Amino acid sequence: MFNNKVMKEFYTLSEAADYLGKSKQTLRRWDREGLLIASREPVSNYRIYKKEMLNQFVGDLFDRSVQDNETNYVPSNKPYSVLELFAGAGGLAIGLEKSGLNCIALNEIDKWACETLRMNRPHWNILEGDIKDFDFSSFKGKTDIVTGGFPCQAFSYAGKKLGLSDARGTLFYEFARVVDEVQPIVCVGENVRGLLSHDNGRTIQGMISILDEIGYNVVPVQILKAIHYRVPQKRERVFLVAIRKDVEVEYNYPAKYNRIYNLSDALKKGELFDSDVPESDGAKYPKYKKKVMEMVPPKGYWRDLPIDIQKEYMGGSYHLDGGKTGMARRIGWDEPCLTLTCSPAQKQTERCHPDETRPFTVREYARIQTFPDDWQFAGSIAQQYKQIGNAVPVNLGEEIGYSLIDFLNRYSSIINESQKSMTG
């Protein structure tokens, strides 16, 4: 996959493809999707790749991993502060807190999610309401990190490089506006995988160019798979890490763990939790659906039903293309759960309990997202499922936290050194 060519300053498309052991077509796609963005040769406009960028990408391709019994944990050299936007029920926030970061404020519009945050962390500064209505400039100089899982919306293009004002009206605009007001050392946007292909890759490109305009360099965007970060669920999230341009320190995504956890690790006593999952309320299947789901074995789906039931249950979808592997799906104990959604019993994304014919309960949902058992959720059962389904898995948030602490430790050492040399 990787040959030992001597590195030079710039690589052409075919040299970069050769270097990474990928096809030129793959590199063109990665460029469009923002995974590995090429520069352009000024005269020919051909794609060229900077040495540092390839080096960093190679590092990622080499699959940095943490061996069993090792950890990404790194203690912080000093207290670091986070402003968490679009905080939801706090999945990312608790993960960051577990890593040792200090949440100085959290913004969220949903009243039940705010209630959840207040109930569990009465001392947190919860700014409840629409982000548009808040001025965050008082956090300038006090905030090392701004984070936020902004909902993804298209920009309207005027056929040029996007600037902040072009994104007005979107929630990404609000995220970038806060970053601009607060000037953190680093900011982290979090989103669904679909962000990379949204509007044929133009949305992510627009975000990168807006962050550039407000003085931030975006680290090559990566999809992180939660299963590599001590989460018993096949959830994927895109992370957009941007570093203030005066900060010349490299950011490294957290190394992956070798150990993959499954549903049994989530719901039973073991390495992830020191007791079986507590009992709690949960949704139920209507009678007909229960009858159908009873015929599906663990790890099975609609194809495991008798043909006549398949046709009846699937209706019009029966003749459509695509595997539809989420329909009538029952999870097995020995596999990671499929991505949880905001509602536990949707026809396209069914996730039935392995032994009992029912959706996962609220506490089972929370376990699969690695929330601690003592984290309570406010609102109706449907509101609770929604908050949990929306969250960044806590353990993934914790690992992102360590990567940020490692980055900030290295930055603070450089600042200390330069202060010493000025006073010495």
Ligand X SMILES: C[S@@+](CC[C@H](N)C(=O)[O-])C[C@H]1O[C@@H](n2cnc3c(N)ncnc32)[C@H](O)[C@@H]1O
Residues in touch with ligand X (CB under 6 A): 86-92, 107-110, 113, 130-131, 149, 151, 171, 390-392
Q: Which of 103, 152, 187, 337 is catalytic?
A: 152
| C-alpha distances in Å from residue 301, one per residue of 179, 304, 306, 338 | 44, 6, 11, 12
Task: Report the amino acid identity of residue 35.
Answer: L
Contacts for 300 with CB less than 8 Å, ≥ 6 apart = 328, 329, 330
Which is nearer to ligand X, 65 or 125 (by Cβ)?
125
Give the per-residue SS3 of 115-180: HHHHHHCCCCCEEECCHHHCCCHHHCCCCCEEEECCCCCCCCCCCCCCCHHHHCCCHHHHHHHHHH
User: What distance in Å separates the CA atoms of residue 172 and residue 153, rounded to the nearest whole number?
Assistant: 8
Q: Of 200, 219, 198, 218, which Cα lies nearest the Cα of 210? A: 218
CB of residue 273 to ligand X, shortest distance in Å:
19
The tokens for 420 are: 């010493």
Q: In 315-393, which residue ranges form alpha helices assigned H by DSSP?
A: 362-368, 381-389
Give the per-residue SS3 of 212-237: HHCCEEECCCEEEEHHHHCCCECCEE
Which residues on neighbouring strands pair with residue 242, listed in sequence order? 187, 218
- What is the DSSP code (8-state) at residue 285? -
Task: Report the amino acid identity of residue 265.
Answer: D
Which is nearer to ligand X, 79 or 151 (by Cβ)?
151
Which is nearer to ligand X, 107 or 361 (by Cβ)?
107
The tokens for 109 are: 């519009």
CB of residue 249 to ligand X, shortest distance in Å:
25
- Considering only the C-alpha atoms of the chain, give the largest distance between any 2 of them, rounded to a whole number of Å: 83
Which is nearer to ligand X, 97 or 406 (by Cβ)?
97
CB of residue 180 to ligand X, shortest distance in Å:
17
The tokens for 121 are: 């962390």
Which is nearer to ligand X, 16 or 131 (by Cβ)?
131
CB of residue 81 to ligand X, shortest distance in Å:
17
Which is nearer to ligand X, 128 or 213 (by Cβ)?
128
152 noted as active-site residue: yes
CB of residue 346 to ligand X, shortest distance in Å:
17
Which is nearer to ligand X, 164 or 309 (by Cβ)?
164
Residue 22's Cβ-side half-sphere holds a number of Cα atoms within 13 Å equal to 17
CB of residue 128 to ligand X, shortest distance in Å:
9
Tally Cβ neighbours within 10 Å of residue 306. Answer: 9
CB of residue 24 to ligand X, shortest distance in Å:
35
Task: Report the amino acid identity of residue 353.
Answer: H
Residues identified as active-site? 152
